Structures are given as structure tokens and as C-alpha cells.
Amino acid sequence: MSVDCVIWLDGEPTTNLPLPDRGLNFGDGLFETLLLKRGRPLFVEQHLQRLRLGLAVLALPDCLLTARRHLESAATAVGNKGWNWAVLRLTITRGAGPRGYAPPDQPTVRILVEASKLDRNCSQMSTPAGLCVAEIRLSSQPFLAGIKHLNRLEQVLAAAEGRAKGADECVVLDQYEHVISVVAGNLFVVRGGELVTPKLIECGVEGTRRRLIIDNWGPSIGLEVREATLGLTDLDDAEEVFYSNSLLGVRPVATLGERSWDSHRVCSALFQRILEEVT
Amino acid sequence: MSVDCVIWLDGEPTTNLPLPDRGLNFGDGLFETLLLKRGRPLFVEQHLQRLRLGLAVLALPDCLLTARRHLESAATAVGNKGWNWAVLRLTITRGAGPRGYAPPDQPTVRILVEASKLDRNCSQMSTPAGLCVAEIRLSSQPFLAGIKHLNRLEQVLAAAEGRAKGADECVVLDQYEHVISVVAGNLFVVRGGELVTPKLIECGVEGTRRRLIIDNWGPSIGLEVREATLGLTDLDDAEEVFYSNSLLGVRPVATLGERSWDSHRVCSALFQRILEEVT
């Protein structure tokens, strides 16, 4: 393990997960990825709000207060290290349990926090990304859509595809050929003076930045945001395309297959808007 | 952890998994559940065959020979403990890796083997099971159908539903309302002198015992086995229903909602056939 990565389990520094653990055995748990600026975690409330939803969906014990405390301790430790930018991955599992899929009646959750140093300067917008379209389709599972659970093989396979094709990111479609997102972020298209982002009913993750763009940042730069069903032709027809996630904020899209975009005006304005928010 | 459970990581006894691990982070890995009779793992070749397929689908390094060696060592250790019946869970993860979904180019897999004592006498067929139908539907993902990967939240949620309803097992349907399996096993119906089991194209796990029943055990008791698209009415219309998995062999179904079955003739004959195979 790199020295630029530190892990805590239930608040204690560790390099290990006790076994057995249902997070490993079944992906029975949740995670969040938070950006830290000089030891200050950004948009914690939004992350905890999604986590709260995930805990309810998976019927996990309400450990939000404890998770918040462990996040804060980890953030302080990161601040003391003098890391300028860092990322915290919070992982919550249903802990140990007897063999078999059925969860124990009284699970004891495990709360892991992993802090990693980021070498990138997150105050600068990333260079425009080259995208491909993943061959693997996201499966429809309305029970789990939106939350950030630990079952992420589809994302792993799509990311592997993207890297094999030399792309920076992959557009992922659902089984009806609707555009859902990129592998690690939510997609937005600019068209006719409005921002449009895919509806997330049957699959996809409801990103913290996606919600902030819809409710707050989009309108604050004069753009209404609409959730809609989108196909690949809607990307082709867009004046501008970008995606959002917790580490990049927003990142412009330069190309998708043959199509390319030169204008990143809206994305740049949003990035500036986010910067104001975090300084 | 119970004293009746022992774990090895890459052949060494352990109680911990080193972090980070992609098996935990994304469910990036595979597993197998093997029954052991007096330290002898049953149907190892069938388990390794499914594992081989899973390794290929997930583009994991070919670690079959090592996995086999670790299984054999664990089995010997179990035999030395004098456990009559035991279960080995083999878990293979893509190991450590940098942050993010994309797998490392040269992953170092981790091979975990967990041995647990079984108190049940597996030479006796289990009592007929009471089933319910799970509300959660299995999602369609042809890329991952058949293999036994670590993304098992759907099974966890269905098993929780079944327990809440007081059922022994749950019938799970796909999103087209086709019957796929039970949570931890493959389903079979007897009708008009033949055995029918659901096709597994878009979801479900290709059970080792399912394959043996289709290719070998079914015909050996005079029944052809057909894979077909089944609905709940096909279960209602069946003369007999049972399910198969590695630990139970086959288990008769007593009830599904209002429907009940008194005859377990075919299931009993198959169970005897399996017993002959393992003695």
C-alpha cells in the first residue's frame, strides 16, 4: 500500500478488514467518495444524504452519526498531513454474519475510511475528455438505482473497456439504449439554452454534484436543468457535453467517436461556480 | 468469528483481508461454495469449470491451478479436524489496485478459502421447503449471467424478504416475470414425465448441480431435462417442484403460496442418485 493512503476501520488506523465480511462476500454495503481541500471534506451533507437513502434501501442500521464522526476524524488527520487535495472513500458494510445471503437480524456495520493524496490541482478544470460508448449495458434494477452500493462490476467492466479503447471515460447506456451516465460521473448536455441530464429510474447513481447542478448551480448561471430520456443522437445534437463527479466537479467532453465539441462555455461557467462554492 | 470457521489467504491462515481490495470495493471477484465430506471436496471439477468461465468473463488472471491447490490444502486441514460435513467458500478477488473502477493492468489476485463446519447430516435429504416469491426482480445482464461473481445484493435483498415472510426459500423472477431460480439454488419442475428448468440467458447462476442434473443425473433416472422459459403458472401446473444447490444436493418444495405438493418422488430419486455418486 502506498504511503499516500491511510485507512481507518471504525475509527482505528488499520491495513486490514476482519473476515468474514458481507461487504466482501456479497457487496453488501455502500460507499461514498469525498473530495478534501486542505483537510476539509466538501459537500459532506450531500454525501450523507445519499448515504442515508442507501442505508434505508439496504435496511442497514442507521450509522450516519458515527460515519460523520469517522469522516471528520479522517479529514483532520489528512489536514495534519498537509495534503492540499485528497480523497476520502467511506465504505460501510453489513459486517460479519453467518454463512448465506440472508442478512443477520442485528448486524454490526463496519465503517471504513480510506484517505488518498491527490496530486492533481483540483482548482483547475480538467482538460476536455475523449469518450467512447461502452458495449456493456447497465442492467435495470429500480430497487438499487440511485444509491451507491458496492455491486460495481458493470462499472469495472465498462472502465476496462474504456481503457482498452484509449478513452478517458465511457458513456454507458441502459438496456433500452438510453444514455445513463459515464462510468464515474453524471452526464449533461447543453441544447437550446437548457441543460439536460438523463433520468435515473432503473439504473445509475444519483451523483452529489448532479443534484447540486440541477437544484442550484445550473439555475445560478441562468440555466434550467431538465431530467429526460436521452439517446446517443441527443449527444450528437448537443452544443456542449460534460460530466460531473465529486473529484472533478465538472469536466468538458472533447470527443465522442467522430463527434467533437469545441465549446465548453457552460462547463467552464459551472466549474467557476463550484470553485466559488468551495473557497 | 466462530471456532468452527477457518480462513486462509493465499494458502496462509488468516483472520484478515489486506486493504485496499477490489473485491470489497467493487465486488470485483468470484466465489464458489463447495461441500466437503470428511475432508473430501465434492464435484471440484464442476466448480473449477464455472470458475474458469468467471475468470475469463472478468478478465482475471488464470489462477485455477493455485485455487485448486489452496482448496486441496484447506480440505486436508478440514479432514484433520474430523469434521464430518463442512463447506468451503473459495473467494477470488482482483486484489489491490489504484483508486477508481478501471482494473490494474497486472492485478495480483487474492485467493481466500473459508472452511465452516456443517452440523447438518448431508446424507439425509432436507425436509420439503416452504417458498415465497420475492418482490425484487433479477436484473438482466447477459455479460454476467451464469457466473458466480461477488455482486450479490439482489440475492441479499431477496433472502431478507424470504426470511421476513417466514419462508425457507424464495422464487426469484426476472424483469419479464419469468421464473429464474430460488435465491440460493436452481429450480426444477416435473411435468408430463420430463424435468424442466429455467433457461439462464440474462441472469441467474449456472449451478454445478443444475448442470449435473441436466447432463447426467436426470437422464440416469430416466428423465430428459429441458431448459425452457417458465412462468409462475408453470410452477402451479407442475406435478413436483424442487431446487438444487451444492450444499443440499436437491431439496423438495412443499408449498409456494397456496399451492402445495405432496409428491417428491423425482427429487428423492435424484437425491439417492447423488448420494451414490458421493459415497
Q: Which of B61, B84, B118 is the last residue of a domain?
A: B118
- B133 with B269, same domain: the answer is yes
Containing domain of residue B246, as a range?
129-278
Which helix (H) or strand (E) is A92 found in, with range?
A: strand A85-93
Confidence (pLDDT) at B4 = 78
How many Å apart are CA B199 and CA B133, to the nearest integer? Answer: 18
- A108 with A146, same domain: the answer is no
Hey, are the CB atoms on A152 and B19 less than 8 Å from each other? Answer: no
Confidence (pLDDT) at B20 = 96
Residue with cell 449495458: A137
How many Å apart are CA B260 and CA B256, to the nearest integer? Answer: 6
Contact by Cβ (8 Å): A253, A241: yes
Which helix (H) or strand (E) is B131 found in, with range?
A: strand B129-133
| Domain assignment of residue A215, yes or no | yes
- B12 with B107, same domain: the answer is yes
Residue-wise over A147-164: b if at least 16 C-beta within 10 A, else e? bbbbbbbbbbbbbbbbbe
Q: How many domains does chain B have?
A: 2
C-alpha cell at B132: 415465497
A contact test, residue of B6, B16, B148, B156 with most A CBs within 10 A? B156
What is A199-224 written as a DSSP string? --SSS-B--HHHHHIIIIIHHHTT--
Instruction: Kindly report, residue by residue over B56-78, the tens digit of the pLDDT.
Output: 999 999 999 999 999 999 999 99
Given a cut of 60, is residue B1 above it in pLDDT?
no
- A152 with A249, same domain: the answer is yes
| Domain assignment of residue B124, yes or no | no
The CA distance from B175 to the nearest CA of chain A, in Å, is: 8
| Domain assignment of residue A124, yes or no | no
A20 at the B interface (CB within 8 A)?
yes
Mean pLDDT on B10-26: 97
- A14 with A53, same domain: the answer is yes
C-alpha cell at B211: 448442470
Hey, are the CB atoms on A24 and B23 less than 8 Å from each other? Answer: yes
Secondary structure, 3-state, B16-62: EEECCCHHHHHCCEEEEEEEEECCEECCHHHHHHHHHHHHHHCCCCC
Hey, are the CB atoms on A17 and B17 less than 8 Å from each other? Answer: yes
- A15 with A50, same domain: the answer is yes
How many Å apart are CA A72 and CA A124, to the nearest integer? Answer: 25
Cross-chain CB nearest to A183 (options B23, B101, B151): B101
Average model confidence (pLDDT) for chain B? 96
Total residue length of chain A: 279
The one-letter amino acid at A46: Q
The one-letter amino acid at A232: L
- B161 with B96, same domain: the answer is no
Q: Which CATH number does the domain housing residue A140 bear?
A: 3.20.10.10
Confidence (pLDDT) at B128 = 98
Hey, are the CB atoms on A153 and B152 less than 8 Å from each other? Answer: no
| Domain assignment of residue B249, yes or no | yes
- A139 with A242, same domain: the answer is yes
Contact by Cβ (8 Å): A121, A103: no
| Domain assignment of residue B123, yes or no | no
How many Å apart are CA A166 and CA A194, to the nearest integer? Answer: 31
Instruction: Kindly report, residue by residue over B251-267, the tens digit of the pLDDT.
Output: 999 999 999 999 999 99
A163 at the B interface (CB within 8 A)?
yes
* Beta pairing, strands B240-245 & A129-133: unpaired
B55 at the A interface (CB within 8 A)?
no
Instruction: Kindly report, residue by residue over B120-176, the tens digit of the pLDDT.
Output: 999 999 999 999 999 999 999 999 999 999 999 999 999 999 999 999 999 999 999
Q: What do you get for the CA distance between the two ends of chain A, in Å?
A: 32
C-alpha cell at A233: 443522437
- B133 with B197, same domain: the answer is yes
The CA distance from B162 to the nearest CA of chain A, in Å, is: 8
Q: Which of A118, A151, A166 is the last residue of a domain?
A: A118
Instruction: Kindly report, residue by residue over B26-61, the tens digit of the pLDDT.
Output: 999 999 999 999 999 999 999 999 999 999 999 999
- A138 with A269, same domain: the answer is yes
Report chain A residues whose CB lies below 8 A from the CB of B166. Answer: none
Contact by Cβ (8 Å): A90, A110: no
| Domain assignment of residue A194, yes or no | yes
| pTM (2 d.p.) | 0.97
B27 at the A interface (CB within 8 A)?
yes
Given a cut of 80, is residue B202 above it in pLDDT?
yes
% of chain B with per-residue pLDDT over 90: 96
Residue B1, SS3 per DSSP: coil
| Domain assignment of residue A13, yes or no | yes
- Within 178-217 of B, beta carbons closer than 8 Å to A belong to 183-184
Cross-chain CB nearest to B155 (options A26, A141, A150): A26
Mean pLDDT on B223-245: 98
Residue A198: cis peptide before it, omega within 30 degrees of 0 = no
User: Strand pairing partners for B243?
Assistant: B187, B251
C-alpha cell at B241: 417442484
Total residue length of chain B: 279
Q: Which of B59, B92, B118 is the last residue of a domain?
A: B118
- B19 with B149, same domain: the answer is no
Q: Which residue of B has its CA nearest to A30?
A: B25
Residue B158, SS3 per DSSP: helix
Confidence (pLDDT) at B3 = 61
Q: Over chain A (279 residues), what is each successive 10-residue block's mean pLDDT?
A: 81 97 98 97 98 98 98 96 96 95 97 96 97 98 97 98 97 98 98 96 97 97 97 98 98 97 97 93
Hey, are the CB atoms on A19 and B7 less than 8 Å from each other? Answer: yes
Instruction: Kindly report, residue by residue over B100-123, the tens digit of the pLDDT.
Output: 999 999 999 999 999 999 999 999
- Within 120-159 of A, beta carbons closer than 8 Å to B belong to 136-137, 139-141, 143-144, 149-159
B contact test, residue of A150, A161, A172, A175 with most B CBs within 10 A? A150
A contact test, residue of B4, B5, B26 with most A CBs within 10 A? B26
* pLDDT band at B5; cut points 50, 70, 90: confident
| Domain assignment of residue A123, yes or no | no
How many CB atoms are located within 10 Å of the residue A219 CB? Answer: 13
Cross-chain CB nearest to B152 (options A26, A58, A87): A26
Pick from A87, A89, A91: which is nearest to A117 by CA? A87
Q: Which CATH number does the domain housing residue A44 bear?
A: 3.30.470.10
DSSP assignment, residue B157? Answer: H
- A174 with A269, same domain: the answer is yes
C-alpha cell at B43: 464435484
Confidence (pLDDT) at A144 = 97
Residue with cell 454474519: A97
What is B56-97 written as a DSSP string? HHTT----HHHHHHHHHHHHHHHHHHT-SEEEEEEEEE----
Helix axes B64-81, B44-57, angle to 10 degrees: 140
Given a cut of 70, is residue B236 above it in pLDDT?
yes
